[in-house]
């Protein structure tokens, strides 16, 4: 999920747009689907030596992942990345990540 944070080093995803890169969203969905399959599909469980996770395990993963996503976004927002950039200005494109 860190890919959503680092599409831009200065602008938070709220200014870039969550769905601005549908290929990334597709890759994230595929990855999550394959992870669920590795944990819950019986023949994959035996091949990969996995066991089903409890709901508390999933909540723990979410709790650990939330700061990994929110802290960089908060830093970008506080540094002023929330300002709307003029997309017609060559300077705004050059300033963003390049």
Domain residues for the domain of 56 are: 2-97
Find the mean pLDDT for residues 20-36. 91
Q: Quote the DSSP letter at residue 6.
A: T
Q: Can you tell me the distance from the alpha carbon of 51 to that of 57, in angstroms, rounded to the nearest whole number?
A: 12
pLDDT digits (tens, 9 = 90+) for 42-90: 999 999 999 999 999 999 999 998 998 888 888 888 887 666 554 544 4
Of the pLDDT bands very low, low, confident and very high (cuts 50, 70, 90), residue 1 is: low
Domain count, the chain: 1
Q: Which residues fall within 8 angstroms of residue 2, CB to CB, at 6 or more apart?
A: 68, 69
Where is mean pLDDT largest: 6-20, 24-38, 65-79? Answer: 24-38
């Amino acid at each position: 999920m860190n890919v959503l944070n680092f599409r831009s080093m200065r602008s938070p995803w709220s200014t870039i747009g969550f769905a601005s890169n549908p290929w990334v969203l597709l890759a994230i969905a595929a990855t999550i689907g394959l992870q669920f399959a590795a944990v819950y599909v019986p023949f994959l469980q035996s091949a990969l030596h996995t066991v089903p996770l409890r709901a508390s395990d999933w909540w723990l993963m979410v709790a650990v992942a939330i700061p990994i996503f929110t802290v960089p976004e908060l830093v970008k927002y506080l540094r002023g990345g929330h300002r709307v950039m003029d997309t017609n200005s060559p300077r705004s494109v050059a300033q963003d990540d390049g």
